[in-house]
Structure 1
């Protein structure tokens, strides 16, 4: 291999590495902004997120405090890391509220959500769904306010979980009814399974 070829390869990988790092930072900054706005509508990226959130992680049955950047990185890594040995916890300071991320599979790819829970009542106060490849006019509607309304002020039952109805027909049994998206049964099932399984992963922390 010539010195020129070696140099070009070095430059290529260096540029690729820098691009990955830059994209990761963009993702982390965007997540920080989203978390802040879930707590305070007036939040902007000039404010200190550490003043609003205590960053923790659930490691097996142990909960420990971690740095903000580590928590945000784990959040993104867990989208594709199905093992998910570490689960990030975003505790809202001076309150009984917490934001918990959950992860799952839609019809066409990864889906995930940030769930705001009041630990004193075990009710869902807010939720934001995201997806990677769901169909534009069907599965992507999990991000709509109409679908989101299925979950607001619903109490969490770990054993029974959420049920799913499609066109008034029971698809998945559970304690809390969710009306699925017409034409997107598989995505709707993915969301319900994601919440039932994902929130159960945090049971040791929420109890």
Structure 2
């Protein structure tokens, strides 16, 4: 396998974050399409390019509904994770990544660490991220992929939660979950497998 330069390693990880977030945004659109009645409003969904706007529109429709409190809570948790994931993606994409040369104490070759800098709203200058390496981006990919699985599970469960005709169900490719399993995934009670499928945690025996 060809060794990548430090700069290419950074770009590879940023690209993985961006790619994972695309799936999350599509999952949010699936969810919104499921609960928006056919008509002009449905046609405008793909005009929305903001993750926070998609989350806000889904939240508003859920809050106006009379679905169960358990589903509301699980959906709220998944949507908050989606909103947070959008901010994480923005940091990866829009931060100004600068390298720092770190000398080793054992005489081996120095390594490059990265830190992202961003503008401080309402202030002068740049704010630095807390991380000085690429682990933050690797962690972000996993977090965003998990969040996408949670939102996709929500999209699958919405027709039953809203008592909609099953023909309104989002056409979400891949693993199909029953309602109870989808609820557990929305609550972040699952393992994400390498192929993108989920292994739902069994119910807590102490519950």
Q: TM-score, normalised by structure 2?
A: 0.33
Q: Which has the higher helix share?
A: 2
Q: Which has the higher strand share?
A: 1
Q: TM-score, normalised by structure 1?
A: 0.33
